Amino acid sequence: MTVIRAALLGFGTVGQGVYNIAQQRREQLKQKLGGAELLIVKILVRDLHKRNRVLPDGFADDAKLLTDNIEDVFCAGVQVVFEAMVGEEPAFTYLRRAIVEHGCSVITANKVMFARYGPVLQELAASCTPTSSSCPATRLYVGFEATVAAGVPIIKTLQNMCHVQRVRKIEGIVNGTSNYILTEMREHPEKTFEEVLRKAQELGYAEADPTNDVSGQDAFMKLLVMVAIAFGHQPDRSTIPVTGIDTLTLEMLQDARAKGLRYRHVVSAAMETEAESSRPLTTPVVEGEGAGLCTRPLPERLTCSVTPRLLGPEHPLYYMDGTTSAVSVETDYLGVVTISGPGAGMYCTASALMEDYAVWMEAFRRP
């Protein structure tokens, strides 16, 4: 029997979701992935002696899974590391070591870390191989579907598209809290921002400290992750304007309502060429040698922003209400493709991590 030994870094909502799914879908995964069985052998928490720790139902640490020492994780001989921590460090250092020192694949939900270090981790993984000879995979993998829009599969869709398509524009609603607040304020014009925020907190949609969400910083990180895939490089952060929904006034919202328009908090990245700026956006751009179809592309310019925008009913994001996340991608061959779904939640996010694991095992498994 093939066993894949895994570690979990972080055991909050998302980490516990991963743990639960690994238990619930043990047989399904094994059957779909050539008999390989996923076994979580270590779980890193910040403080082992934390009081009032909330644990999954039925979880008793009989097998001594929990540790607050990363060396215990690396000593456990793991082949894949699931990371659901917060912030750039120590998450990046742990994942870098997992790849370089231990030949592990890594799967992360940490957008702040990945927005900064994603390309570094991908390069490291491409130059290393699984060190464990019992690992049934031939290559290391860096999974990060869960960093943007939870389980809504925007990352793999973008990655697949980019083999063949040229992305011209990305627009997305990627912060469920902001979209929930904007939706509620539109539907209940009598409520204040504070009232709506409080309700969002009660429903578990907003954090106790909502600054990251309402200021646009959370959405900004997700934009950076998408831009790196779609356009192949990380833009200079300081050149991107970031405005949150906290800049909107009641008057602005009322005015939008009166005009039949809707405010959405939109992240966007658009590649423009001089020639294209006057061309309708759904025409395929063709170039290069071959069927005698075209000329070389003109110099390109990438413009990014994170800001509340007033949209009309012709826009695909106009209809995305509540905590929905949605991303529209416009490419030269395809036109506009839109993906939407629930952008947050324990199982939405955790299942994205587990799907990354399955895709890795499916694609890179030894024949």
DSSP 8-state code for residue 33: T
Q: What would the x/- binding string for a second copy be over residues 215 to 244, using CB under 8 A?
A: ------------------------------
The whole-angstrom distance between residue 54's C-alpha and the CA centroid of its chain comes to: 25
> And the tokens for 160?
């697949």
Among 157, 201, 243, 307, contact with a second copy (rule: CB under 8 A): 157
131 touching a second copy, by CB under 8 A: no
DSSP string for 45-65: -S-TT-TT----TT---TT--
108 touching a second copy, by CB under 8 A: no
Give strand pairing partners of 263: 310
281 touching a second copy, by CB under 8 A: no
Signed CA dihedral, 123, 218, 303, 334: sign only: positive
Among 163, 194, 236, 278, contact with a second copy (rule: CB under 8 A): 163
69 touching a second copy, by CB under 8 A: no
Helix residue spans in the chain (DSSP H) = 13-24, 26-32, 70-75, 91-100, 111-127, 154-164, 176-187, 193-202, 211-214, 217-231, 250-258, 346-364
> And the tokens for 12?
């909050």
CA distances, 118 to each of 1, 110, 124, 279, 357 (Å):
33, 10, 10, 34, 17
Among 69, 93, 127, 129, contact with a second copy (rule: CB under 8 A): 129
59 touching a second copy, by CB under 8 A: yes
169 touching a second copy, by CB under 8 A: no
| In the complex, least distance from residue 45 CB atom to a second copy, rounded to whole angstroms | 17
| In the complex, least distance from residue 242 CB atom to a second copy, rounded to whole angstroms | 27
Q: Is 286 annotated as a binding residue?
A: no
Among 292, 295, 296, 299, contact with a second copy (rule: CB under 8 A): 292
Identity of residue 324 = T
* Residues of each annotated binding site for NADPH: 111
Interface ranges with a second copy (CB under 8 A):
19-29, 32-33, 56-59, 129, 138-139, 151-153, 156-157, 160-165, 282, 284, 286-294, 316, 319, 333-342, 345, 347-348, 350-351, 354-355, 358-359, 362-364, 366-367
